[in-house]
Amino acid sequence: KTVLENEAIRAQFPILKREVNGHKLVYLDNAASSQKPKAVLDAIVNYYSFDHSNVHRGVHFLSQLATEKYEAAREKMRGFINAKSTKEVLFTKGTTEGINLVSYGLSRSFLKPGDEILISEMEHHSNIVPWQIAAADAGAKLVVVNVLEDGSLCMDDFRKKLSDKTKLVSIVHVSNALGTINPVKEITQLAHEQGALVLIDGAQAAPHQKVDVQDIDCDFYVISGHKMYGPTGSGILYGKEAILNEMPPYQAGGEMIKNVSFEETTYNELPFKFEAGTPNVEAAIGLSAAVDFMEEIGFEKLTRIEQELVAYAHERLSEVEGIRFIGTAPEKASVVSFIVEGTHPTDIGTIIDKLGIAVRTGHHCTQPLMDKFGLPGTVRASFAVYNTLEEIDLLTDAVKRAVKMLK
């Protein structure tokens, strides 16, 4: 066993000290939502204790202070994804809202009857359903790229289905159900050669690896803050400035306008055109603190720790009789998904919860993918930078116990 050297990191998470069902909590449901370090909790409490007011409105001291903090958080997020300008960084409440903002905008301005929207079999429901609605609204067609048996994207099928009819490609960067890392730079380049726009769902990538939107060259990139040590209700939509300028607003109201009369309204400049109403200031500030936390560790160390956890989990769980891993693509992030012959994933999850172990069971909001593999769902253990090898030992022992009980 190697040493992960993450004790000091782990110590920053108050919730990891609690007990569940009389056992020490073993939290392995990080792909659903990660826990929060004290620095993020403190940032939120400090904001409300000392700095809170509405933003972008008042001339008074606190309004200006809150605005400064909110806009500093935007600049932090710009740096985090390496966007060119803060005009390209919109605060959202998460990945779902980011995708809906784009699908709504494109269906009203850009998609025409006969156009095709290309997604894949491994998409989360939030990268399927908005496009079904957009396709129905615009008379466009949804086309789906196949996934191979090992859980990687079939690039031959992608090339085959991509054509000059394709107006948008919307693909997940890292699969939440399988852990597969998709070649998003290559996907973007191929799509651009056909003149299509590209959205990348980065919900499961941003917590685990350095994201550089200029390097990928995608047109949109979406993130959820709560999966990367930040608060729920926080997130980012990156969009290229020229495209966001052309796209109609998503929601309408205060903040997103320049001038309003009953006859005519002009919209505010970017990024405010897409941030109607009082924003979730506390979420932006908490997310900014989460980025500080991650950048202090550094992606090199963070990725190394998580890759060791994934490798060790595969090694230890292989001892479980009848286990089958779902998703064994060579490029994999922090997810280990499995089933055990003769058992139901939910039963395993329920039994090991009694031992304090939190995993996710079910279809992971990827029902079409589970249907493809002919499964009701899987058991999914997903790791964050604070997990330990000992926790994987506890998981393995607990799964062995559950399987014994169930068989």
Q: Cβ 407 to ligand PMP, closest distance in Å?
A: 31
Each residue 235-274 as x (binds ligand PMP by CB under 6 A) or -, in order, gives: ----------------------------------------
Closer CB to ligand PMP, 99 or 398, in the complex: 99
Q: Give the residue from 165, 149, 147 showing the smallest Cα distance to 157.
A: 147
Q: Cβ 187 to ligand PMP, closest distance in Å?
A: 15
Closer CB to ligand PMP, 32 or 297, in the complex: 32
Give residue 220's identity as a one-letter amino acid code.
F
Number of chain positions touching ligand PMP (CB under 6 A): 13
CA separation for the pair 361, 346 (Å, rounded): 6
In 180-226, which ranges are E strands? 197-201, 220-224
DSSP state of 174: B
Q: Where are the alpha helices (DSSP H) in 298-337?
A: 299-317
Closer CB to ligand PMP, 366 or 396, in the complex: 366
CA separation for the pair 7, 18 (Å, rounded): 16
Each residue 109-148 as x (binds ligand PMP by CB under 6 A) or -, in order, gives: ---------------x-xx---------------------
Q: Cβ 223 to ligand PMP, closest distance in Å?
A: 9
Closer CB to ligand PMP, 4 or 294, in the complex: 294
Q: Which of 365, 384, 385, 394 binds ligand PMP (CB under 6 A)?
A: 365
Task: Provide the 3-class DSSP secondary structure of residue 162.
Answer: coil
Phi, psi of 342 (to 5 degrees): 80, 5
Each residue 62-101 as x (binds ligand PMP by CB under 6 A) or -, in order, gives: --------------------------------xxx-----
Q: Cβ 320 to ligand PMP, closest distance in Å?
A: 25
Closer CB to ligand PMP, 6 or 204, in the complex: 204
CB-based contact 285:47 (threshold 8 Å): yes
Task: Provide the 3-class DSSP secondary structure of residue 371.
Answer: helix
- Pair type for strands 197-201 and 220-224: parallel
Closer CB to ligand PMP, 182 or 343, in the complex: 182
Closer CB to ligand PMP, 96 or 343, in the complex: 96
Closer CB to ligand PMP, 126 or 361, in the complex: 126
Q: Cβ 171 to ligand PMP, closest distance in Å?
A: 10
| Catalytic position from the list 365, 385, 394, 403 | 365
Binders in 213-232 for ligand PMP, by CB under 6 A = 224
Does residue 204 touch ligand PMP according to CB under 6 A?
A: yes
Does residue 203 touch ligand PMP according to CB under 6 A?
A: yes
The tokens for 116 are 């095709």
**323-330, long-range: CB < 8 A, 24+ apart:** 323/399, 326/151, 326/177, 326/178, 326/373, 326/375, 326/378, 327/150, 327/151, 327/175, 327/177, 327/178, 327/179, 327/180, 328/150, 328/151, 329/150, 329/151, 329/152, 329/178, 329/179, 329/180, 329/181, 330/152
Q: Cβ 275 to ligand PMP, closest distance in Å?
A: 17
Does residue 172 touch ligand PMP according to CB under 6 A?
A: yes
> How far separated are the first and last CA of the chain, in Å rounded?
31
Q: Cβ 227 to ligand PMP, closest distance in Å?
A: 6
Q: Is 218 a catalytic residue?
A: no
Sequence-distant (≥ 6) Cβ neighbours of residue 189 within 8 angstroms? 217
The tokens for 150 are 């090992």
CA separation for the pair 73, 61 (Å, rounded): 18
Does residue 233 touch ligand PMP according to CB under 6 A?
A: no
Q: Cβ 123 to ligand PMP, closest distance in Å?
A: 8
Does residue 361 touch ligand PMP according to CB under 6 A?
A: no
DSSP state of 226: G
Does residue 176 touch ligand PMP according to CB under 6 A?
A: yes
**Which residues are annotated as catalytic?**
365
List residues near ligand PMP by CB under 6 A: 94-96, 124, 126-127, 172, 176, 201, 203-204, 224, 365
